[in-house]
Amino acid sequence: AAVGCASTRRPLAWRSAGLHGAATASHPQMVAAEPVRSGAAPLPTPPSDPAASRLISATPEWAALMAHKRDVIDVSHLRDLLLDESRTMALYAEHDGVSLDYARQRVTKDTMHLLFDLARAANLQGKMAAMARGDHINVTEDRSVLHMALRAAKGDALVVDGVDVNAEVWDVLDRIRAFTERVRSGEHRGATGKIIKNVIAVGIGGSYLGPDFVHEALKTERDAAQAAAGRTLRFLSNVDPVDVLRNTRDLDPEETVVVVISKTFTTRETKVNAKTLRDWLHDAMGKSPDVVAQHMVACSTNMEGTSDFGISPENVFPFWDWVGGRFSVCSSVGALPIALQYGFDSFERFLEGARSMDEHWQTAPMERNLPVLMGLIGVWNMSFLGYSTRALHPYTEALLKFPAHVQQVDMESNGKHVTLDGDLVDYPVGEVDFGEPGTNGQHSFFQLLHMGQTVPCDFIGFMESQNPICEEGEPVSNHDELVANFFAQPDALANGKTAEECRAEGRSEELIPHVTFLGNRPSVSLLLPLCNAYTCGQLLALYEHRTAVEGFVWNINSFDQWGVELGKVLAIKVRQQINQTRYHNRPIKESFNASTARLLDRFL
Ligand code: F6P
């Protein structure tokens, strides 16, 4: 009830051309999209006075998609849709080596046209342009959203709020190149004169997941692996002391640099871990100021915080409040650990890949625009077909951390319940994302994907392996074996297997219901040449922009994250209580409910 007061919220809203009418006095209840199993399921209740609603769901374009779903999609099966060759050939797009096949979505060519109409009604392209210009589209924090500027080419003109953003970005990148080269060449040594071989990056959320995904992706890539020979990069994210042990037990502090990564430099987990590692360094080398100077550096927007911690400004690699934490991997957040481990050139190739996708997103027509297509498909599956969960399956072990990164990018961005105007949304937004590399996922949760709930899937495959193995005498290589699954699973999900097909295989009648696959389960397939720094940059930007497209159409703010605050505040109260009871023998205060008080009492 506290949200969505139209009159007080309106000044915050980021106005978009032609979408909204007058303010509503009350807000419709949130309703789930209609169930997907029955073609005759009821449509979500429209606002009582559509003309007065400011919601995208009140537009004729939304209504047209609802009618199309009921009349066409609910009565079609992917098995039949895939037989229409002209449809299947049309549902494909590519950019700079990245192929997107979306023929296995529950869409026709008409669905896509209607989705493009919806995008126009939502002023999608106007919003994308506003983001690129540096308008303050993150209205609740009054900030620009400029992560694309982090990978713009040197010299690209971008002045925002009177500041030459490109010059600032490249100033920091040049400093990172110089520093990482000094460390890698042995010019910058530890306090006791030893060469630095190890890096522990301390950070959490966006200050960890993106760099970790890139690190894992490059570990086995030939050129990157060569550049990293004899070096170790680890990430300490969890405040759990067990994570400290796992990261430090076999490293020599005298050969280790600690990179403290925190946009705000106020995050408790990171501050606790940074202090623990400072003690670890001091225990090994004494408390001389040289220890922190030679072994600790930081990436942050908070220069005061880093200096209070004891890190001098020349060892801080800044970024800016217009970089959201989950969109920060292209800033010093990713640049420093990745360039320390793999050299700056690798990181630059990563930026180039992201830049290629940025330019494509900003300029390609919607019909051929990969992030727009994937974003609109997301809106369709979530808000119209009611599929609230989505799975990501990279068919390479090198991308094992990519699903976790996409999970934060998407769920922290689009896990919202009000529009930019503060109105409660009356349509489902924000998917639950999860995933695992193939083929491991197939032997874990694919049973549910084939026979349980319908979960739209993204399959990511590569033409070449980072590690091609061809056994003599084997008909297919190990990589072919992997890729065979990448091709087979989407068809199995889409086509399923009919009772007749099962009977033809000689299955007994009792078994038929158990071995029949209903199919009609949507997926997209992305095919790329090779998993390397460049293609990782492309994938990163593709998924960042998919999230933005969905948020723009839903008219929510994908760039704030107020939802993580409440738990943090409550943890402070618990932390104080633990201290008071444990060290001052004070009773557990009445301000905790009986449930929390009981377990807290037991813990203490
Ligand atoms: O969990 C919330 C969050 O603010 C994320 O958005 C962010 O990526 C993470 O915490 C870490 O924040 P910081 O970089 O400020 O330490």
Which helix H or strand E contains 205, and what residues bound it? none
In the residue annotation, 412 being an active-site residue is answered as: yes
**pLDDT score, position 23:** 31
Instruction: Check: CB of residue 158 under 8 Å from CB of residue 166.
Output: yes
CB of 263 sitting under 6 A from ligand 1: yes
pLDDT tier for residue 54 given thresholds of 50, 70 and 90: confident
Q: Which amino acid is at 351?
A: L
Instruction: Check: CB of residue 52 under 8 Å from CB of residue 22.
Output: yes
Spatial distance between the Cα atoms of 219 and 532, rounded to a whole number of angstroms: 10
Of 18, 70, 74, 5, give the one whose Cα is nearest residue 44: 70
Of 140, 177, 167, give the one whose Cα is nearest residue 8: 140
**pLDDT score, position 48:** 52
In the residue annotation, 568 being an active-site residue is answered as: yes
Task: Tell me the mean pLDDT in the region 316-339.
Answer: 98
Least confident of 42-51, 204-213, 386-395, 451-460: 42-51
11 φ/ψ angles, rounded to the nearest 5 degrees: -60, -25
CB of 207 sitting under 6 A from ligand 1: yes
Prediction pTM value: 0.92
Q: With b meaning 16 or more CB within 10 Å and e meaning fewer, what string describes 431-447?
A: bebbbbbbbebbeebbe
CB of 412 sitting under 6 A from ligand 1: yes
Pairing of strands 389-394, 457-462: parallel
**pLDDT score, position 10:** 41
CB of 332 sitting under 6 A from ligand 1: no
| Residue 83 structure tokens | 């037989």
135 φ/ψ angles, rounded to the nearest 5 degrees: -60, 155
391 has pLDDT over 60: yes
**pLDDT score, position 42:** 39
> How open is the CA angle 71-90-374, to the nearest 5 degrees?
80
Task: Tell me the mean pLDDT in the region 433-450.
Answer: 97
**pLDDT score, position 469:** 86
Task: Tell me the mean pLDDT in the region 326-337.
Answer: 98
Helices (H) and strands (E) counted in the chain, each on its own, are: 24, 13
pLDDT tier for residue 455 given thresholds of 50, 70 and 90: very high
Instruction: Check: CB of residue 346 under 8 Å from CB of residue 353.
Output: no
Task: Tell me the mean pLDDT in the region 387-415.
Answer: 98
266 has pLDDT over 80: yes
Ligand 1 center from residue 218 Cα (angstroms): 24
Ligand 1 center from residue 208 Cα (angstroms): 9
Of 522, 492, 270, give the one whose Cα is nearest residue 381: 522
103 has pLDDT over 80: yes
Least confident of 39-53, 81-95, 377-391, 503-517: 39-53
Q: Which amino acid is at 302?
A: N
In the residue annotation, 443 being an active-site residue is answered as: yes
Task: Tell me the mean pLDDT in the region 247-254.
Answer: 98
> Which residue CA neighbors atom 10 of ligand 1 most closely?
205
Spatial distance between the Cα atoms of 317 and 298, rounded to a whole number of angstroms: 6
Spatial distance between the Cα atoms of 297 and 279, rounded to a whole number of angstroms: 15
* Catalytic annotation, pick one of 34, 269, 397, 412: 412
588 has pLDDT over 70: yes
Task: Tell me the mean pLDDT in the region 541-559.
Answer: 98
Instruction: Check: CB of residue 466 under 8 Å from CB of residue 222.
Output: yes
Task: Tell me the mean pLDDT in the region 206-213.
Answer: 98
**pLDDT score, position 52:** 63
Secondary structure (3-state) at 80: helix
Tens of pLDDT, residue by residue over 18-37, are 333 333 333 333 333 333 33
pLDDT tier for residue 474 given thresholds of 50, 70 and 90: confident
Spatial distance between the Cα atoms of 168 and 317, rounded to a whole number of angstroms: 11
Tens of pLDDT, residue by residue over 111-155, are 999 999 999 999 999 999 999 999 999 999 999 999 999 999 999
Average of per-residue pLDDT values in the chain: 92
Spatial distance between the Cα atoms of 319 and 103, rounded to a whole number of angstroms: 41
Instruction: Check: CB of residue 140 under 8 Å from CB of residue 97.
Output: no
Task: Tell me the mean pLDDT in the region 255-270.
Answer: 97
**pLDDT score, position 14:** 40
44 has pLDDT over 80: no
Higher per-residue pLDDT: 7 or 106 = 106
| Residue 84 structure tokens | 């229409």
